[in-house]
Amino acid sequence: MKLEQNEKQLLFSETVIPDIFFTEYLPEIPGDYLKIYLYLGFLAKYKKDIKLNDLSKKLSLPLKTINEGLKFLEDNNLILKKTTGFIVNDLQELTLNNLYKPNLTQSKEKVEQTAKNQSRARAIDCINNMYFQGIMGPSWYNDIDLWFRKYNFDEQVMISLFNYCYNRSALHKNYVQTVAEAWHSNKVQTYNELELYYQKQEKLNKIKSMIAKKLGKHGGLTQYEEAYIEKWVLDFGYEMDIIEIALKRTTYKQNPTFEYINSIISDWHERNLKTPDQVNAFLEQRKKQNKDLKEMKAQVSKANYEQRQYNNLDFLYANNITNNNEGDN
């Protein structure tokens, strides 16, 4: 039996999407995948069957995009794969289950650190009002609490984290998590440490820009080239004045690569050369050594040449004596 919906019912019907979708999931979903999800929700309400090829034609999306979109929605718990198709998950139920899982350790911490939690609660409330217009999704609260405990950020750093991502139009969890990891790996916990980190990053970006300009890389540096510069600046502690000496030496070489520049700078670091004066003194010493070596080779070559000439004269003299003796006979 096939049941059909008449036009009047379809015209006045609605497909309801819970508000939790807009706060928790919407920022993370690429546009094409959002089209797929919304249409699946519409079909699920009427319990309709549809093939992937039909879905591709209906939404004007390549079949590859449909498959990738379904995988994305499944990975993010928006749909559940079954042997016969997919189920559109109840997002309110999922969120409720995630929020109220027993967490005895967390409860104990809240009892032991009441003052700290009150301060953090004020920071979270500030984040909610400043960056979510007061309607921050429930799961954000758990994530922020987790980041507080995992990275030991103070309240100002946590607010700065959201401000940083908000200003880059990237206020979604994966990006916030990535930035938090970067700050943590650079030993940022307090606001003063964050300020020092900003200063270090600003200097690094300035040096990257100067190097790109001097090497004529108007299209920008690659990720691997930037990694070399970060090693020179962050690991070796070199300023632009030393790096520029290495860049000038690329004029002696056709098509110099970053590997070539890195070999020069790494050699200086291994020799414990820390200032431009030390580098220049080393280069002058090497230049003198190369000059002395060339002069020594020239002298040896001249001596060998003279010795060969002497040997040739002896040979000619010996031949003359022999020839004269044969003439006498």
- pLDDT tens, position by position, 297-317: 777 666 665 566 555 555 555
Q: Is residue 294 part of a domain?
A: yes
Beta-sheet strands, E only, within the chain = 79-82, 85-88
Determine the length of the chain: 329
Q: What is the largest CA-CA distance in the chain?
A: 139
In a domain, 284, yes or no: yes
236's CB contacts (< 8 A; 6+ apart) are: 265, 266, 269
- Which region among 75-84, 199-208, 229-238 has the lowest average model confidence (pLDDT)? 75-84
Q: Report CA-CA distances (Å) from 75 to 69, 71, 81, 223.
A: 10, 6, 10, 28
CATH number of the domain that residue 235 is part of:
1.10.10
pLDDT bracket for residue 49 (50, 70, 90): confident
* High-pLDDT (> 70) share of the chain, %: 81
User: Considering the domain boundaries, does residue 39 fall inside one?
Assistant: yes
pLDDT at 4: 46
Name, in order, each residue with C-beta under 8 angstroms of 203's C-beta and a sequence gap of 6 or more: 233
Q: Report yes or no on 106 lying in a domain.
A: no
Q: Are residues 286 and 270 in the same domain?
A: no
Q: What is the mean pLDDT of the segment spanning 75-84?
A: 80
Average of per-residue pLDDT values in the chain: 81
Q: What is the CATH number of the domain that holds 27?
A: 1.10.10.10
Higher pLDDT residue, 19 or 228?
228
Give the residue from 184, 205, 221 where a domain finishes: 184
pLDDT tens digits for range 101-118: 544 444 444 444 555 777
Cα(129)–Cα(123) distance, integer angstroms: 10
Confidence check: pLDDT of 190 > 50: yes
- Per the structure, the complete domain to which residue 292 belongs is given by 280-322
Residue 327 included in any domain: no
- For residue 251, how many other CB atoms are within 10 A of its CB? 8
pLDDT at residue 209 in the model: 93
pLDDT: which is higher, 103 or 88: 88
What is the DSSP code string of 216-274?
T-TT---HHHHHHHHIIIIIS---HHHHHHHHHGGGGSSS--HHHHHHHHHHHHHTT--
Residue 239's pLDDT is 93
Q: Which of 204, 246, 245, 248 is nearest to 226 (CA)?
A: 204
Tell me, yes or no, whether 102 lies in a domain: no
* pLDDT at 252 (0 to 100): 74
Specify whether 141 is located in the same domain as 172: yes
69, 33 Cβ separation under 8 angstroms: yes
134-176 pLDDT, tens digit per residue, is 888 888 888 998 899 899 999 999 999 999 999 999 898 899 9
- State the Cα–Cα distance between residues 326 and 322, nearest whole angstrom: 6
Among residues 61, 96, 131, the one where a domain terminates is 96
Give the C-alpha distances (Å, rounded to integers) separating 120 from 110, 116, 156, 255: 11, 6, 10, 55
Looking at the fold, whether 86 and 116 belong to one and the same domain comes out as no
Same domain, 180 and 209: no
Domain membership flag for residue 141: yes
Q: What are the pLDDT digits (tens) for 26-45? A: 888 888 888 888 888 888 87
CA angle 60, 62, 65 (to 5 degrees): 110
Same domain, 284 and 305: yes
pLDDT at 38: 87
Higher pLDDT, 77 or 149: 149
Which residue is associated with the tokens 């929020």?
99
pTM of the model: 0.53
Separation CA 78–CA 25 (nearest Å): 8
Does 107 reside within a domain? no
In the block, residue with structure tokens 């440490």:
193
pLDDT at position 104 is 40
* Structural domains counted in the chain: 4
Domain identity same for 39 and 85: yes
Q: Do 233 and 291 reside in the same domain of the chain?
A: no
129 and 89 within one domain: no
The string of pLDDT tens digits covering residues 239-262 is 999 999 999 888 877 777 899 999
Q: Are residues 239 and 288 in the same domain?
A: no
256-277 pLDDT per residue, tens:
789 999 999 999 999 999 999 9
